[in-house]
Amino acid sequence: MVSMSLQQLREKTREIAGGIAAPIFYADKADEIARSENIASHSSLAGFSRDIIKGKGGAAGHGYGHAHSVASDAAAIVYCEAGFNGRSDRLAENGMIAGYLHDIMRDESDHPRKGAQYAANRLKGLMSDYDLEMIVFAIKNHEAFREFDVVPNADYMLLSNALYDADKFRWGPDNFVYTLWDMAESMNINPDFIIKNYDRAIEGIVRVRETFRTATGKRYGPDFIDKGLEIGRALYKFCTMYA
For residue 67, name the pLDDT band (cuts at 50, 70, 90).
very high
Give the whole-angstrom CA distance, residue 19 versus residue 193.
26
Residue 191 confidence (pLDDT): 81
Return the CATH fold of 6-242.
Answer: Hypothetical protein af1432 (1.10.3210)
Q: How confident is the model at residue 194 (pLDDT cuts 50, 70, 90)?
A: confident
> What's the pLDDT tens digit per position in 97-140?
999 999 999 988 899 999 999 999 999 999 999 999 999 999 99
Q: For 121-178, what is the HEC assignment?
A: HHHCCCCCHHHHHHHHHHHHCCCCCCCCCCCCCHHHHHHHHHHHHHHHHCCCHHHHHH
Q: pLDDT tens for residues 164-180? A: 999 999 999 999 999 88
What type of residue sits at position 98?
A: A
Return the pLDDT at 3. 66
- What are the extents of the domains in the chain? 6-242
- Residue 60 scores a pLDDT above 80: no
- Report the first-to-last Cα separation within the chain, whole angstroms: 5
